[in-house]
Amino acid sequence: MKDDIRLGIILLIITAVSGFLLGFAQKITKEPIAIQEQKTKSEAMQIILPSATEFKASNKQASGLIKEVNEGYNGSKIDGYILRVDPKGYGGLIDMMVGISTDGKITGIKILSHSETPGLGANAPNPKFSGQYTNKPAKELKVVKGEASGDDQISALTGATITSRAVTTGVNEAVKFYDSNLKGGK
């Protein structure tokens, strides 16, 4: 009984010290992580809407798969929009950004994070797949097996149709949001 109490006190001390150290480490790393996330986000926006020189959060309310709406400016003129979406892929949510110009073209996509299968769905960020979305008209896209033949088609990743459809769903949701909330400077 006496040994049980002693072991319990030792365990309590160890867990208290561990909890304190984890809390301290979280406090120290919180700001650098936030800075790195903002830097990654800014770089992604510049890649998928390169004509814009400045980005600002939009006052449009995000909903559904749309998590964030940003406006890209070239001077004082809105040049396009960056919509952050998180569709469900095979391994979990795919955090990505979709750029749409004011003239109704998809300017590109950037996958920020995912947990897709290595060697299959994890290939979605590669330009061979993600580059297919660039310069597509802002209309509903379909995933096809094999070669895409129309401007509304995206070639699926081999062995990763679920991931391909998830990314395309994210793009389609961004296009729907653009059509109903942003098109024509609404």
Sequential pLDDT tens for the chain (186 residues): 788 888 989 999 999 999 999 999 999 999 998 888 888 888 899 999 998 999 998 888 888 889 999 999 998 899 999 999 999 999 899 999 999 999 889 999 999 999 888 888 888 999 999 999 999 998 899 999 988 888 899 998 888 889 999 999 999 999 999 998 887 655
Output the pTM of the full model: 0.81
CB 166 within 8 A of CB 93: no
Q: CA torsion 58→59→60→63, rounded to 10°? A: 90
The residue to which tokens 């998590």 are assigned: 67
The whole-number pLDDT of residue 164 equals 93
CB 146 within 8 A of CB 121: no
Angle at 108 between CA 122 and CA 58, to 5 degrees: 110
> Token pair for residue 170?
């994210």
The residue to which tokens 């600002």 are assigned: 56
d(CA 161, CA 117): 12
Under DSSP, the state recorded for 132 is: G
H/E stretch holding 32: helix 2-48
The whole-number pLDDT of residue 37 equals 86
d(CA 164, CA 142): 10
